[in-house]
Copies of this chain bind each other. A is one copy, B any other.
Amino acid sequence: MKELWDRIVSDGEVIGKDVLKVDSFLNHQIDPVFIMRMGEELAARFSQAGITKVLTIEASGIAVAMAVGLYLKVPVVFAKKSRAVTQREELYTAEVYSFTRREAVQIAVSSRYLRSDDNVLIVDDFLAHGEALKGLVEVVKQSGAQLAGAGIVIEKKFQHGGDILRSAGIRIESLAAIEFMENGKITFA
């Protein structure tokens, strides 16, 4: 998505070889109009897939997921992060390791909001090592729902999460895929 590439180049901040901060429009400040255009584009790529539910993870995924849900006219569920989950209803859970925070968190989705007859599109802001996405895939598996694929805003291909998940047969669509980053410069795939 050309507009996103331009925005990453103009507003993104590359730190070292691994970290890309896009706090000005995606991860801390949100540009709602732009988020809607990105949601529309992700929704378009899965418009023929018969999606019944969008699944994301708090917090940065929520805005884009909501835009996708709005265009696909389906509910959005966000997995909750916590250390220790104490809820009464049955939960689908997975461990997600964060390389940024260097800790594992548990993510949880209530069985009320993911059902075996759902066809799920996972949406997230970033795909790097794929830890969050693997956790969400695990949650979908536990629910017995079908997984239609994943729609990602920015994929950092050099961290190979996308390769691993694609070779497991999962359809992944990224709006911007970054081949590598060096000396503050970004090379798109």
Contacts and interface: CB of A to CB of B under 8 A. Distances in A.
In this complex, which of A30, A63, A75 has the most chain B Cβ atoms within 10 angstroms of its Cβ?
Answer: A30
Nearest to A79: B28
A31 interface: yes
A110 interface: yes
A3 interface: no
Contacts of A24: 112-113
Given A58-B59, A59-B59, A59-B78, A66 B110 contact: no
A184 to B, nearest CB: 15
Given A59-B58, A63-B62, A29 B70 contact: no
A33 interface: yes
A12 to B, nearest CB: 14
A82 to B, nearest CB: 9
A31 B24 CA distance: 26
Interface size, A (range): 20 to 34
Interface string A64-97: 0011011001011110100000000000000000
Contact of A28 (B33, B36, B70, B80): B80
Contacts of A75: 29-32
Contact of A113 (B23, B35, B36): B23
A57 to B, nearest CB: 9
Contact of A70 (B23, B36, B73, B109): B36
23 contacts: A23-B113, A24-B112, A24-B113, A28-B77, A28-B78, A28-B113, A29-B75, A29-B77, A30-B75, A30-B78, A32-B70, A32-B76, A33-B70, A35-B66, A36-B70, A58-B58, A58-B59, A59-B59, A59-B62, A59-B78, A59-B80, A63-B66, A66-B66
